[in-house]
Amino acid sequence: MDKKTAEKLYDACYMRVYSYVMTLAKDQHKAEEITQETFFKAMTTKQTFRGESECYSWLCSIAKNAFIDETRRTSRLTEEPDETIADTEGDIEQSITDSESSFRIHMLLHSMEEPYREVFELRVFGELSFAQIAAIFQKTESWARVTYHRARLKIKERMDDNET
C-alpha cells in the first residue's frame, strides 16, 4: 500500500475503527494500541484489501483478530479471565435508568454465549449495520440480524426469569 492511500484510509476510518475497538476492549489505552496495530497490519501486510467488502469491514476484521490476540496474550500473563461487559438497547434501555436493573443486564450479557454477545455489542456499542457485522463474521446479513434479535430475546427472557 502506498503512503498516500494509507493516509487516506487512516483519515477516513480511524475514528470508526477506534470506536469499534472500544466496544471490545472497554479501555481507552488498549483500544488506541489495538487500533494503531490494526492500521499497521493493514499497511504492512502482504495480504492487501481485495475489495470484496468495505475497507471499514476489512479493518474491523483485522482489529477483531488483534483484540483476540491481545486478550490471549494478556490472559496468559495474568492467568485471570478478561471480563467483558456490554449494554443493551430498545425496550431494555428503559431498565438501564435503574442502576440495579442495569447491573443485572450487564451480568446477563457478560454470561451470554458467543456469537450473541459480540453481535449485540457491535450493534449497540459499535453502532454497526447488519451488513458490517456480517462482513466481520464472514456471514450473511440475515445471519447478523437473526443473531442480534436472538440475543435481545435471550436478554429479555433472562430478565423476566430473574424477576419472578
* pTM for the whole structure: 0.49
CATH code 1.10.10.10 region(s) in the chain? 92-163
Note whether 135 and 53 are within 8 A (CB): yes
pLDDT of residue 96: 44
- Please tell us whether the domain made up of 92-163 is placed in CATH 1.10.10.10: yes
CATH code 1.10.1740.10 region(s) in the chain? 3-78
- Report the alpha-carbon distance of residue 85 to residue 106 in Å, rounded: 6
pLDDT band at residue 85 using 50, 70 and 90 as cut-offs: very low
Mean pLDDT of 110-117: 85
Cβ-based neighbour number of residue 85 at 10 Å: 13
> Cα dist. 152→37, 71, 92, 155 in Å?
32, 26, 9, 5
- Report the alpha-carbon distance of residue 50 to residue 70 in Å, rounded: 26
- Report the alpha-carbon distance of residue 137 to residue 103 in Å, rounded: 28
Does the pLDDT of residue 88 top 60, yes or no? no
Note whether 106 and 85 are within 8 A (CB): yes
pLDDT band at residue 143 using 50, 70 and 90 as cut-offs: very high
Cis omega (within 30 of 0) for bond into 115: yes
Q: What is the CATH number of domain 3-78?
A: 1.10.1740.10
- What are the pLDDT digits (tens) for 19-67? 888 888 888 889 899 989 888 888 887 566 655 667 888 888 889 888 8
Give the closest residue to 45 by CA, choosing from 29, 59, 32, 25.
Answer: 59
Note whether 38 and 66 are within 8 A (CB): yes
pLDDT band at residue 3 using 50, 70 and 90 as cut-offs: confident
